[in-house]
Chains A and B, each alone.
Chain A
Amino acid sequence: MTARESLETSLVGSPIERLEDAALLRGRGCFIDDVHEQGMLHAAFLRSPVAHGRIRAIDTSGARALPAIRAVYTAHDVAKFAKGSVPTIPLRLMSSPELVPFEQPVIADGKVRYVGEPVAMVVADTAAEAEDAIEAIALDIEMLPAIANRRAAVAAETLLFEKHGSNVAMHYEAAKGEARAQHTPYVRRERFAVQRHTAVPMETRGLLATWDGASARLTVKGAAKVPFSTRRVLAKCMELPEASIDLVELNVGGSFGVRGEFYPEDFMVPFAARTLGRPVKWIEDRRENLLASNHAREMDCELALACERDGTIVSLEGDVWVDAGAYVRASASIPPRSVAQSLCGPYRVPFVRITSHLALTNKTPTGTYRGPGRFEAEFFRERLLDMAARELGIDPVELRRRNLVSPTQLPYPLPTMTSPERRSELDSGDYAMALDRCLAEIGWRDKAALQGRLIDRRYHGLGVGCFVAGGAAGPRETARIMVEKDGSLAVYVGSASVGQGLETICAQIASDALRVPLERIRVFHGSTSYVSEGFGSYHSRSTAMGGSAILVAAESLGKRVRKAAAQRFACPREDITLGPELRAEHGGRSLALAELAGDGLSAEEAFSNAHITYSYGAAAAHVAVDARTGHVDVLDYVNVEDVGRVINPLTAVGQAVGGIVQGLGGTFLEHLQYDDDGQLLTASLADYMLPTASDFPNVRAVVLEHARSPCNPLGAKGGGEGSIAPVAGVIANAVASALVDFDVQPRELPLTPQRIWELIHDRERTTGSVR
């Protein structure tokens, strides 16, 4: 449906084509590297070539001597600027005092702790010359032993932070229930591991900072995801009032959680601009992106599932180890908390004790990546359920049905998290319905007989998994709607666009709420100058929070229109009726919005939320495994998810399918591999393998609107991170089902052909293997 046809029908729920598309299709988007400003200089970073060491000397004279070089900065310069010490990057969410010692300095300060850590910054006339100058800097580092994995971190023969007695920064606990039953008939203990991988958006990071000395204003373009939070941190580091910093969001080439958090470069580039009084641009190259943007997902666990003989779950206990990398960066507290809290999923688990441990290693720091902790938790738990089902002789689907929380049990308490304490509960939903729908979609009943059979050189298998995905994190989001002189509307929202179709969604919501046609609405998002306060896009919150804020602002605007019209008509406000396009009517007279616009009509409102919404669903896969090569063909993959309210079915399904394919990448292909010296071996897209168009053609997603969320006026649950979560568990279950005759039980990701081949041939993994 086009924008023109929009007035006739309700837009919310309609698969209208996106407003963003026309410009993007023409190549007329504006991404950060598309911006060219007068007098712009270019920054490049010298990054540590070793994983752990003490910086003895940095000789920048070779770089400074090059003609095109304007400045070279190290910790020494930053400390001078910042009154004595190099600022560190605070946690954005769920901070606690225990984590502060492990915050990353904005530039390496005395020590380097991971390959890729910024040690010096060069500013030059061109990007190529900046890169040339990097090679002219001489770095003298006293190498220290590298902590290459979490076991070495725990053993602590070397400390990353000498003042702290260990390499384990933090423990979190998810707890539920008073005391475990004394004796359960069945207990299954297992270890599982998920490999390090990450978001790898197609656009790398980039910033363009400009300092206007006359007005003492700093403008930073290239912001994403959480611009208001970034501004707050930058203001503190720069000792500037927030009001004199503008963070401007342009087109963003994907985030998936990784872009937009505060990184060292988010200080260094503005610092250079301010110091030099010239605009400074920095564009991350792909090698840097793989080395320096947040890594994610590396976790291993020891879990024990206890059940009755009929498969009724009694308890889930255990430990999860998170390999967090060398520093605790802005979003690092989320994955260890989330994995612990997500382990129960949509299942009834009376007793839970999960402890997650945040271990520091000499590798790139980590943070949130789409469905943080949930992808890992789903893999651990769904594998455990299938293994238990097999041993107990219960059909795996039946086992799940027996344990799914039923609608009458909602709201259902999730385990309580510590440090800081957070309680949450599953809000609304029919989990069994989603499972049934998923099984129907994949044709489970018809295909069940194929499991384990060898057809045409391949073994066939089916796998299933159920999930919930938390969204709509509070505390607030803000929207401002302004009436332009011609009566059209400008909608400003604090949510950030990372490519998910935010503008279209917001316009649909505003259009329906105010009965103004789409083409008379423009949406502005993300930049800090648009609203007084914003929180941004993470935790699948843009629709629920940003969209709800728009609804609240729309209501408020309606009130103001009434007030303004009442003054003109000299009548009570209650007597004004608002027609389509906010036309104010009273007793035969009417005023178009454009006529009232001169009065300066606008409304800015915040929507607050303290309750997490939970989208939920199930996923299933049909695979065929070549036992001789270990290659797995995904013949069919279905994700069914209830998101409460679908604003745009096109974008909702689009998000779901994109999430599935990312999940398949994480299951089969993607692996940030390090050697024992902490060197990243996969620092190019030739070695870090992303899914391509020919790898997973048979994926599909069904998006439902069954159970509205009670937590916001839209009834929307967050919908962008559900489909990625169950992928690994479902696929691994399908592979186990296919290879049942070989008694193959995948416990580690990625499921490379070699790993599957090794499981079949029962080889011992050598201790010297690359992790």
Chain B
Amino acid sequence: MKLPAFGYASPSSLSDAIALLAAARGTAKPIAGGQSLIPVLAFRLAKPALLVDLRNVPGLDRIRIGADGVRLGAMVRWCDIEADDRLRGAHPLLVDAVSHVAHYQIRNRGTVGGSLAHADPAAELPGVAVACEAELTLMGPQGSRVVSASDFFRGALSTVLTDDELIVEVRLPAWPNSRRWAFEEFARRRGDFALAGIVAFYDRDASGRATNTRLVAIGTAQYPRRLRRAEAALDGSPVDEQAIERAARAARLEVEPASDLHASADYRRSLVETLAERALLEARARADQAS
């Protein structure tokens, strides 16, 4: 499984990188960590004429935390997220979800931008991004544009990125301390892609009822989407076991998973219900700990 031959460039500026992609007219691919791209090349599922390596482009690897939330540069690696202590408080959901990504060696190379651009339906970060209504800053020859996460993903391994565009940054909105959250996924082995996963959080109104509920399933559709009917089943209710079960059942009915090699649609639906229920119970338990 030797790699097919390709040209290689490692530009030292973002504009050079974009220019190279544009000039290649769809025959070039950007490479960040390479943890998803190189296996694709090894299986000869793609044969780009040129790889544009982003390793020397400055300024893409910063983690900035401010009033508008957490900004992750496209070249931020999973290990960088793990190592940044500020994030534990600034975005605990992100940190928890990222702890499920792949394995030690992959986490030393794999990047935020790479994961979002690759758009695997079972990947954790796209799920978190959609749940949080994150904003992605994309840069192309025409300049930059901001796309919300729910508009960014189009299908399995498919996004709105054009051939000459790069993700520069993703912004997760500011995370309130009082938020209740959980991330639950079910994989065959540690580090495997999830057969199904749930990103869940809610805030509480003055009377303690759930508001702003977000429920996103990963691994159960072509790309992650908010389960709005399931969210509505919890919103406005006190977060008791009946409400949680109601929301979990609604989540199960709302997803339309496919059957594949690793799991059937029915089983995935069942997982969604179980994981949604457990995630919401965990989120609620977090509340009990905090107060």
A residues neighboring B (CB under 8 Å)? 127-128, 131-132, 135, 285-287, 628-631, 669, 673, 681-682, 684, 686-687, 689, 691-692, 694-695, 752-754, 757-758, 761, 763, 770
Stretch of B65-73, B155-163, B186-194, B208-216 contacting A (4+ beta carbons < 8 Å): B186-194
Residue pair A695, B189 in contact (C-beta under 8 Å): yes
Residue pair B188, A287 in contact (C-beta under 8 Å): no
Residue pair B5, A763 in contact (C-beta under 8 Å): no
Give chain A residues whose Cβ lies under 8 Å from the Cβ of B43: 287, 684
Give chain A residues whose Cβ lies under 8 Å from the Cβ of B263: 754
* Contact among B2, B3, B39, B267 with A754 in the assembled complex (CB-CB below 8 Å): B267
Give chain A residues whose Cβ lies under 8 Å from the Cβ of B4: 132
Residue pair B1, A286 in contact (C-beta under 8 Å): yes
* Contact among A135, A669, A681 with B261 in the assembled complex (CB-CB below 8 Å): A681
| B1-15 residues at the A interface, CB under 8 angstroms | 1-5
Residue pair A758, B267 in contact (C-beta under 8 Å): yes
Give chain A residues whose Cβ lies under 8 Å from the Cβ of B274: 628-629
Give chain A residues whose Cβ lies under 8 Å from the Cβ of B270: 628, 757, 761
Residue pair A763, B266 in contact (C-beta under 8 Å): yes
Give chain B residues whose Cβ lies under 8 Å from the Cβ of A689: 188-189, 192
Counting chain A CB atoms within 10 Å of each CB, which of B192, B264, B274 scores highest? B264
Chain B, interface size: which category? 20 to 34
B residues neighboring A (CB under 8 Å)? 1-5, 39, 43-44, 186, 188-192, 195, 261-264, 266-267, 270-271, 274
A628 CA / B189 CA spacing, docked (Å): 17
Q: Give the shortest distance, in Å, between A671 (CB) and chain B (any CB).
A: 9
Give chain B residues whose Cβ lies under 8 Å from the Cβ of A287: 1, 43
A-B contact pairs, 9 of them (CB 8 A): A127-B2, A131-B2, A287-B43, A669-B189, A681-B261, A752-B188, A753-B195, A757-B267, A770-B261
A184 CA / B263 CA spacing, docked (Å): 43
A673 CA / B263 CA spacing, docked (Å): 13
Give chain A residues whose Cβ lies under 8 Å from the Cβ of B264: 754
Residue pair A692, B5 in contact (C-beta under 8 Å): no
Give chain A residues whose Cβ lies under 8 Å from the Cβ of B3: 128
A487 CA / B188 CA spacing, docked (Å): 56
A695 to B, closest residue via Cβ: B189
Give chain B residues whose Cβ lies under 8 Å from the Cβ of A754: 263-264, 267
Q: Give the shortest distance, in Å, between B125 (CB) and chain A (any CB).
A: 19
Give chain A residues whose Cβ lies under 8 Å from the Cβ of B5: 128, 132
A752 CA / B195 CA spacing, docked (Å): 12
Residue pair B266, A673 in contact (C-beta under 8 Å): no
A736 CA / B5 CA spacing, docked (Å): 53
Residue pair B189, A753 in contact (C-beta under 8 Å): no
Residue pair A753, B188 in contact (C-beta under 8 Å): yes
Q: Give the shortest distance, in Å, between B6 (CB) and chain A (any CB).
A: 12
A164 CA / B260 CA spacing, docked (Å): 36
* Contact among B2, B39, B195 with A128 in the assembled complex (CB-CB below 8 Å): B2
Q: Give the shortest distance, in Å, between B161 (CB) and chain A (any CB).
A: 24
Residue pair B188, A669 in contact (C-beta under 8 Å): yes
Give chain B residues whose Cβ lies under 8 Å from the Cβ of A758: 267
Q: Give the shortest distance, in Å, between A586 (CB) and chain B (any CB).
A: 65
- Beyond A132-B4, A628-B274, A629-B271, whether A673 also contacts B261 by CB under 8 A is yes
A593 CA / B118 CA spacing, docked (Å): 69
Besides the contacts A131-B2, A686-B39, A754-B263, what 10 more A-B pairs have beta carbons closer than 8 Å?
A135-B44, A629-B274, A673-B261, A681-B261, A684-B43, A687-B261, A695-B189, A752-B188, A753-B195, A770-B261
B264 to A, closest residue via Cβ: A754
A132 CA / B1 CA spacing, docked (Å): 10
Q: Give the shortest distance, in Å, between A420 (CB) and chain B (any CB).
A: 41
A247 CA / B6 CA spacing, docked (Å): 39
A689 CA / B264 CA spacing, docked (Å): 17
Q: Give the shortest distance, in Å, between A488 (CB) and chain B (any CB).
A: 43
A135 to B, closest residue via Cβ: B44
A629 CA / B266 CA spacing, docked (Å): 12
- Beyond A287-B1, A763-B266, whether A631 also contacts B261 by CB under 8 A is no
Q: Give the shortest distance, in Å, between A514 (CB) and chain B (any CB).
A: 47
Give chain B residues whose Cβ lies under 8 Å from the Cβ of A631: 186
A128 to B, closest residue via Cβ: B2
Give chain B residues whose Cβ lies under 8 Å from the Cβ of A628: 270, 274
Q: Give the shortest distance, in Å, between A770 (CB) and chain B (any CB).
A: 7
Counting chain B CB atoms within 10 Å of each CB, which of A673, A681, A757, A763 scores highest? A757
A392 CA / B160 CA spacing, docked (Å): 64
Residue pair B186, A629 in contact (C-beta under 8 Å): yes
A752 CA / B5 CA spacing, docked (Å): 40
A694 CA / B189 CA spacing, docked (Å): 8
A131 to B, closest residue via Cβ: B2
